[in-house]
Amino acid sequence: MIKTQHLTKRYEALTAVDDLSFEVNPGEVLGFLGPNGAGKTTTMRMLAGFITPSSGTASICGHDVIEDPLGAKAALGYLPEGAPVYGEMTVGGFLDFIADLRGLSGPLRRERLAHVIERLQLKGVLAQTIDTLSKGFRRRVGLAQAIVHDPPVLILDEPTDGLDPNQKHEVRALINDMARDKIIVISTHILEEVEAVCTRAIIIARGRIVADAAPAALVARSRYHNAVSMKLGQATQLAAARAALAAVPGVESVEVSEREARLTALPRAGAPILAAITELAGARGFDLQDLHQESGRLDEVFRSITA
Amino acid sequence: MRNVGIIMRRELASYFATPLAYVFILIFLVLASLFTFYVGGFYERGQADMESFFGFQPWLYLFLVPALSMRLWAEERKSGSIELLMTQPVRLWDAVLGKFLAAWLFTTIALALTFPLWVTVNYLGKPDNGAILAAYLGSALLAGGFLAVGSCMSALTRNQVIAFILAVVACFAFLLAGFPMVLDLFRGWAPLPLVDAVASLSFLAHFESIAKGVIDVRDLLYFAMLIGFFLLATTIALELRKAD
């Protein structure tokens, strides 16, 4: 379990992290969201024991990061932002070094090293120096380093930043794989990622928690939650359709995109309006190309909370 | 202590993974020979000893050792790998000691590679090999002192050039602490005991007595305390500034 109590980091002129208290339990994948400079990295660095909090504290699996830093670090796998590594080392040499520091030995060591090399597909580059690797491979080496000792807690700072879509998919699959029995905290500003892997999201802005909920619940806060979007075959019907939609009970407002010939009806307080609109579209004989209900837009929620 | 060894091995291997090790050793050996034969007049002196070799060691170290020590911490901070290292279950002191020992072992290897000179002296005459061994020990201790100072300077900045310059200046001050150049700064106002204390900090005075073959416990203690002090200062500097 990760537990923070009034975690605070002040620099001379600015409070980077301001009185953060939260708990994360096994099985949870916590997404740490926020605009750049919101305090995500500072918080993660305090959890990982790289920065000392100005006040408050945090504990990893019962090990206080200030009182028992080595215990906390032993329970933790950490991928720093940008995945720094020793560039002049070979991949194999680097993983050996980390396994040494993690105190792995004997058959367990061989098994763990084989596992991470297999899982992150590093077999082909073991003898290469890390400096010669592509960004995707370097990130994988960073991830291998974080999980080689099979820690109960994983903290990953922007694990998919700068990766191509295939690599992002692989990293997310890896996180989902490990999610069952671990505590995982990832920071990201890619919102789709939160919906793809996280069971819970904390949004922070200016060092404070501004939202803490399941991604679905956050999405439900969107103005677009349960909104109905339709695309018409003929742009000429737009004006009439708009008037008709606005008259449906429960519809708060209607947005029109003329270029796409698309209408979006926003419900009042998330009320279900799909049935009424479907019926209306049939009765009026609209030339429908597409009709669907939106679950909400996380980016819109994110902006409205953090702006 | 186990981690000290692990970190030391990694550091040492990384010296040899880059051209750094080879360039350093080559330049050290070439310069040491030039000084010994051309400036020190190895043959002209007509004596079977290595004084013309050891006499120039401090001045050679003054520039070469900071070139080695500048990367110790500045590079880790610049590349961000310090964050990786400091979030492993490792004490900061273990890392400071491990990296220092790697650099020290490396300079010792370079020093040991001057053995052909020792062979030459023994071929030409009958030198006092005990004194030569003592001088080698003194030279290694001197390199350790320079490295500890350089390690501390490297921890203060993420810029290797600044780390180099700071280390050269600090080592120069320590080297000349017994000379008027430094002592005159204190003589005007400081009480005599302080002037004496500054004078007793001189690298050169302690090195020269060992280089003459006289191993005094006080000289050994001096280098041990100096290295200990600056490694502690390195640790404190890192504790305060590692994340900046």
Query: Would you state the pLDDT for residue B231?
Result: 96
Is the pLDDT score of B42 beyond 80?
Answer: no
B128-142: average pLDDT? 89
Interface test with B, best of A42, A100, A139, A141 (most B CBs within 10 A): A100
The CATH number assigned to the domain with range A2-219 reads 3.40.50.300
In this predicted model, which residue has the larger pLDDT, B212 or A58?
A58
Instruction: Determine contact: A89 vs chain B, CB below 8 A.
Output: yes
Specify the fold of A228-306: Alpha-Beta Plaits (3.30.70)
The lowest-confidence range among A151-160, A233-242, B66-75, B99-108 is A233-242
pLDDT digits (tens, 9 = 90+) for A97-107: 999 999 999 99
B28-51: average pLDDT? 81
Is the pLDDT score of A79 beyond 90?
Answer: yes
Query: Would you state the pLDDT for residue A217?
Result: 85
Which H/E stretch holds residue B57? helix B57-69
Q: Verify whether the Cβ–Cβ distance B86 to A51 is below 8 Å.
A: no
Type of residue found at B107: T
- Closest approach of A221 to chain B, Cα-based (Å): 37
Instruction: Determine contact: A84 vs chain B, CB below 8 A.
Output: yes
User: What band does B37 get if pLDDT is binned at 50, 70 and 90?
Assistant: confident
Is the pLDDT score of B43 beyond 80?
Answer: no
Q: Is B124 helix (H, G, I), strand (E, B) or coil?
A: helix
Question: Looking at the DSSP assignment, which residues form a beta bridge with residue B25?
Answer: none
Q: Is B236 helix (H, G, I), strand (E, B) or coil?
A: helix
A221 φ/ψ sector (left φ>0, alpha ψ -120 to 50, else beta): alpha
pLDDT digits (tens, 9 = 90+) for B100-113: 999 999 999 999 99
Q: Verify whether the Cβ–Cβ distance A101 to B79 is below 8 Å.
A: no
Residues in chain B closer than 8 A to A88 (CB atoms): 14, 17-18
- What are the boundaries of each domain within chain B? 2-241
A216-242: average pLDDT? 83
Q: What residues of B are in the A interface, CB distance below 8 Å?
A: 3, 6-7, 10, 13-14, 17-18, 79-81, 83-84, 86-91, 242-243
Average pLDDT, chain B: 89
Q: Do β-strands A153-157 and A76-79 pair in parallel, antiparallel, or remain unpaired?
A: parallel
In this predicted model, which residue has the larger pLDDT, A283 or A46?
A46
Q: Verify whether the Cβ–Cβ distance B3 to A101 is below 8 Å.
A: yes
**B177: burial class by Cβ within 10 Å (0-12, 13-18, 19+)?**
buried
Is the pLDDT score of A82 beyond 90?
Answer: no
Instruction: Determine contact: A98 vs chain B, CB below 8 A.
Output: yes
Nearest to B87 among A73, A85, A87 (CB): A73
Q: Verify whether the Cβ–Cβ distance B81 to A51 is below 8 Å.
A: no
Nearest to B81 among A86, A101, A103 (CB): A86
pLDDT digits (tens, 9 = 90+) for A172-191: 998 998 888 899 999 987 88
A157-171: average pLDDT? 87
The answer to whether residues A152 and A27 touch, using CB atoms and an 8 Å cutoff, is no
Q: Verify whether the Cβ–Cβ distance A73 to B88 is below 8 Å.
A: yes
User: What band does A37 get if pLDDT is binned at 50, 70 and 90?
Assistant: confident
pLDDT digits (tens, 9 = 90+) for B178-189: 777 777 877 778
Structure-derived torsion over alpha carbons of residues B164, B166, B169, B174, reported in degrees to the nearest 10: -100
Q: Which two tokens stand for residue A35?
A: 């605009």
B51-73: average pLDDT? 89
Q: What ipTM is given for this predicted complex?
A: 0.88
3-state helix, strand, coil in chain A (%, to 5): 40, 30, 35
Nearest to A50 among B7, B79, B87 (CB): B87
Query: Would you state the pLDDT for residue A245?
Result: 83
- What are the boundaries of each domain within chain A? 2-219, 228-306
The answer to whether residues B21 and B67 touch, using CB atoms and an 8 Å cutoff, is no
Nearest to A97 among B10, B83, B243 (CB): B10
- Closest approach of A203 to chain B, Cα-based (Å): 24
B229-240: average pLDDT? 94
Burial state string for B63-95 with b = 16 or more CB within 10 A and e = fewer than 16: ebbbbbbbbbbbbbbebebbbbbbbbbbebbbb
Instruction: Determine contact: A9 vs chain B, CB below 8 A.
Output: no
